[in-house]
C-alpha cells in the first residue's frame, strides 16, 4: 500500500502513518473512461467522500424551473489530488416547482476513489486521530472555496488567466461551453479573451 494515492496525498499532514494507512484502506478505486457519466446517490445520508487520483472531472447542476425550461450550470472542475463531496441530488427548495440534480462526468480517463461517511464513522470509533485527517480535508475545501470566490470577482481577462494558470494543461480537456459557463462568460466572450491572451503571450 506504499504507493496508495490517498496515502501520498496525505503524507504532509501532521498525523500518524498508521492512521493515514487506515484511512486510505476504506476507499475503493473506480476507473472511468473519458465522457463517462458517473452515477451519484440520491440519499444524502449515504453520499460518498471522493478522492480523484487521476484525471479531470466536471460537476454540473441541471435545474428544471419548468418542463420547458431546463438549465445546465457548471459548478466545479476537479483535478487529480482533490478530495470532494457532491451535494445530495434531491434537495428541497422553498419553491416546489424548482428541481435540480447534479451530474459528474469524466473529461479524461480518470480513477476515482470512494468511501462513505458510515465507514469513516466506524473507523473514527476505533481511531480518534482520524479527525486530524478530516480537519485537513476541510481546510482544503475552505481554501478552494476562497480561491473560487476570488477568481469570480476578477475582471474577465484576469479570471481566464488565473484559471489557466491553476489548471495548466488540464484546461485543454475542458469544452469551451463548460469553461465559459464556469467563468460567467458567453462562449463569444471566451473566444475573444482566448485570442487576446494568445496575442499577448
pLDDT of residue 100: 61
119 close to 12: Cβ distance less than 8 angstroms: no
Q: 5-153 adopts what CATH topology?
A: Jelly Rolls (2.60.120)
Q: What is the Cα 75 distance to its own chain's centre?
A: 9
CA distance 124 to 22: 10
Secondary structure of the chain in the HEC alphabet?
CCCCHHHHHCCCCCCCHHHHHHHHHCCEEEEECCCCEECCCCCHHHCEEEEEEECEEEEEEEEEEECCEEEEEEEEEEECCEEECCCCCCCCCCCCCCEEEEEEEECCCEEEEEEEHHHHHHHHHHCCCHHHHHHHHHHHHHHHHHHHHHHHCCCHHHHHHHHHHHHHHHHHHCCHHHHHHHCCCCHHHHHHHHHHHHHHC
- Let me know: does 27 contact 120? Beta carbons within 8 Å: no
pTM for the model: 0.86
Q: How many CB atoms lie within 10 A of CB 83?
A: 21
pLDDT score, position 4: 86
Determine the angle formed by the axes of helices 156-167 and 130-152, rounding to 10 degrees: 150
Q: What pLDDT, on a 0 to 100 scale, did the predictor assign at position 201?
A: 62
**Residues of the chain where predicted confidence (pLDDT) is lower than 50:** 1-2, 66, 89-98
| Domains in the chain: boundaries | 5-153, 155-201
Write down the pLDDT at residue 71: 60
Q: What is the pLDDT of residue 95?
A: 43
Amino acid at each position: 500500500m506504499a504507493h496508495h494515492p490517498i496515502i501520498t496525498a496525505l503524507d504532509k499532514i501532521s498525523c500518524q502513518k498508521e492512521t493515514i494507512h487506515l484511512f486510505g484502506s476504506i476507499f475503493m478505486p473506480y476507473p472511468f473512461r473519458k465522457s463517462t457519466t458517473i452515477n451519484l446517490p440520491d440519499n444524502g445520508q449515504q453520499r460518498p467522500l471522493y478522492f480523484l487520483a487521476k484525471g479531470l472531472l466536471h460537476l454540473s447542476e441541471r435545474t428544471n424551473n419548468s418542463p420547458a425550461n431546463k438549465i445546465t450550470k457548471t459548478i466545479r472542475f476537479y483535478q487529480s489530488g482533490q478530495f470532494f463531496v457532491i451535494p445530495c441530488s434531491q434537495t428541497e427548495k422553498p419553491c416546489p416547482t424548482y428541481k435540480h440534480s447534479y451530474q459528474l462526468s469524466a473529461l479524461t480517463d480518470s480513477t476515482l476513489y470512494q468511501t462513505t461517511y458510515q465507514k469513516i464513522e466506524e473507523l473514527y470509533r476505533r481511531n480518534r486521530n482520524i479527525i486530524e485527517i478530516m480537519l485537513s480535508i476541510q481546510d482544503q475545501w475552505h481554501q478552494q472555496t476562497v480561491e473560487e470566490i476570488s477568481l469570480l470577482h476578477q475582471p474577465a481577462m484576469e479570471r481566464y488567466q488565473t484559471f489557466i494558470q491553476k489548471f495548466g494543461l488540464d484546461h485543454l480537456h475542458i469544452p469551451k461551453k463548460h469553461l465559459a459557463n464556469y467563468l460567467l462568460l458567453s462562449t463569444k466572450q471566451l473566444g475573444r479573451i482566448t485570442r487576446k491572451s494568445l496575442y499577448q503571450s
